[in-house]
C-alpha cells in the first residue's frame, strides 16, 4: 500500500450504532488530520494530530472521538450520530505543516 | 474566520479549450495549494506555491501565487475529458496555521 488509505470506503449506520473509521499513511509523515466534506461547503477541519498528540479540536461534537496510536494510524470513533453527520470523511497527512496528502475518504450515511 | 472566495463555481467547456480559475483571500497567505478531486475520491495535490509571484507548472497545469499574496490562479491548457472534476484551492496564513479551503470549481468538459 502506498500513500494514505482509509477504511471502510462506505459506511451506513443507525443513530444508535458505534463504528470506527480507520486511516493509515505510508509516507513517513508526522501529522495527521480528519476533515468533513459536505455538499456545497468547504472542507471542514475536525482534528489535527502532530507527533501523535492532538493539537487541534475544532469544536467538534463529542460524538466524534479521534485516536492516534502512532504516527501512521488515525481513527475516528463514532457513536450516536445524527443524520446531519452524513458526509465524506477525509483523512490527510503531512510532514510538519507542509502540503497535505489525502486519502480516498469514507462516505458515511447516518439513517 | 478566514474564508477563501473561489471562482467560478462551475465551468462547462469544450475539449481543447483553456481554463482559468482563481481564489482570493481577505488576508495574506504564505502558501497556496491546488487540489483536484474526482467523484468518490479524495483531493489530489496538483501544485504547491510558497513564494509571492511564483509561477509553477505541472504538465498542462500552471498556477501562480499572486503578488499581493491574497490570491492565486490556476490555468489548464488544451483541456481533455479526464480534466473533469472539482478543483480546490487551499491557503495558509502562517507556517503553523491550518489550511483554509475554497468551495471548489466544478469543471465539465464536452468531447
Put simply, whether A10 touches B (Cβ < 8 Å) is: no
The grid cell for A64 is 466524534
Inform me whether the pLDDT recorded for A47 exceeds 80. yes
For A1-10, the pLDDT digits (tens) are 579 999 999 9
Question: What pLDDT sits at residue A55?
Answer: 76
The grid cell for B47 is 501544485
For chain B, what is the mean pLDDT?
93
Output the DSSP codes for A36-98. EE-TTS--EEEEEEETTEEEEE-S--TTEEEEEEETTEEEEEEES--GGG-EEEEEEEESTTS
CB B6 within 8 A of CB B105: yes
For B63-101, the pLDDT digits (tens) are 999 999 999 999 999 999 999 999 999 999 876 678 899
Note whether B98 contacts A48, CB cutoff 8 Å: yes
Question: What pLDDT sits at residue B74?
Answer: 98
CB B34 within 8 A of CB B58: no
- List CB contacts (< 8 A) between A45 and chain B: 98-99
Put simply, whether A42 touches B (Cβ < 8 Å) is: yes
Put simply, whether A43 touches B (Cβ < 8 Å) is: yes
- pLDDT class of B40 with cuts at 50, 70, 90: confident
How many CB atoms sit inside 10 A of residue B42's CB? 22
Question: What pLDDT sits at residue A40?
Answer: 78
Note whether A42 contacts B103, CB cutoff 8 Å: yes
Q: Name the DSSP class of A99.
A: -
CB A37 within 8 A of CB A43: yes
Amino acid at each position: 500500500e502506498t500513500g494514505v488509505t482509509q477504511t471502510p470506503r462506505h459506511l451506513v449506520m443507525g443513530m444508535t450504532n458505534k463504528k470506527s473509521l480507520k486511516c493509515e499513511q505510508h509516507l513517513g509523515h508526522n501529522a495527521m488530520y480528519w476533515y468533513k466534506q459536505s455538499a456545497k461547503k468547504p472542507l471542514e477541519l475536525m482534528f489535527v494530530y502532530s507527533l501523535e498528540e492532538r493539537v487541534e479540536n475544532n469544536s467538534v461534537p463529542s460524538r466524534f472521538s479521534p485516536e492516534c496510536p502512532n504516527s501512521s494510524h488515525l481513527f475516528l470513533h463514532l457513536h450516536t450520530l445524527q443524520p446531519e453527520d452524513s458526509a465524506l470523511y477525509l483523512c490527510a497527512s503531512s510532514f510538519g505543516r507542509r502540503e497535505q496528502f489525502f486519502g480516498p475518504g469514507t462516505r458515511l450515511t447516518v439513517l | 474566520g478566514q474564508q477563501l472566495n473561489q471562482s467560478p463555481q462551475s465551468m462547462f467547456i469544450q475539449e481543447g479549450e483553456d481554463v482559468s480559475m482563481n481564489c482570493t483571500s481577505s488576508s495574506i497567505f504564505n502558501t497556496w495549494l491546488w487540489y483536484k478531486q474526482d467523484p468518490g475520491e479524495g483531493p489530489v495535490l496538483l501544485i504547491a506555491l510558497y513564494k509571492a509571484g511564483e509561477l509553477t507548472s505541472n504538465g498542462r497545469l500552471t498556477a501562480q501565487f499572486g503578488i499581493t499574496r491574497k490570491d492565486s490562479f490556476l490555468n489548464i491548457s488544451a483541456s481533455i475529458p479526464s480534466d473533469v472534476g472539482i478543483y480546490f484551492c487551499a491557503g495558509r496564513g502562517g507556517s503553523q496555521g491550518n489550511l483554509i479551503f475554497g468551495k471548489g470549481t466544478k469543471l465539465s468538459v464536452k468531447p
